[in-house]
Amino acid sequence: MADIIPIRPVRAPEPLWRELLGGALREKRLADRQTLAETATRAGISPQYLSEIERGLKEPSSEMIAAVAGALDTSLVDLTSSVSEKLAPSRSETMLLAA
């Protein structure tokens, strides 16, 4: 008789930091009612590059992140905190992993 192998739930892959960062920047920009061009100009980067950051296609340097955060009148602490909250597993995921 064959051994029974317990099936463990497959954990979904974690999102990439750059994707969550881009989403947080876009959310902040839209909440502030700024256009892509306005924010990019304030940050000293091209609108195309900012668009790629927001879509998670580019992994910006810390200097670029600071420039965009400054253009959005937010701090790096607030920005990274919001991204970190999205990375933290939910309570139910933590309980499933412990089982």
Structural domain contains residue 63: yes
What is the pTM for the complete model shown?
Answer: 0.77
Alpha carbons 65 and 67: distance in angstroms, whole number: 5
Total of domains in the chain: 1
Position 1 confidence tier, pLDDT thresholds 50, 70, 90: low
Judge contact between 11 and 97, C-beta under 8 A. Answer: yes
Structural domain contains residue 2: no
Q: Can you tell me the mean pLDDT for 5-16?
A: 77
Distances in Å between the Cα of 64 and the Cα atoms of 7, 20, 58, 60, 61 are 44, 16, 11, 6, 5
Structural domain contains residue 55: yes
Structural domain contains residue 23: yes
Please report, for the domain that includes residue 51, its CATH number.
1.10.260.40
Report the pLDDT value the prediction gives residue 89, as an integer from 0 to 100. Answer: 65
DSSP secondary structure string, 16-35? PHHHHHHHHHHHHHHHTT--
pLDDT surpasses 70 at 96? no
Structural domain contains residue 12: no
pLDDT in tens, 12-67: 777 899 999 999 999 999 999 999 999 999 999 999 999 999 999 999 999 999 99
For residue 57, give its domain range. 17-98
Structural domain contains residue 8: no
Structural domain contains residue 6: no
Judge contact between 24 and 97, C-beta under 8 A. Answer: no
The stretches of the chain forming alpha helices (DSSP H) are 17-31, 36-43, 47-54, 62-71, 76-87, 91-98
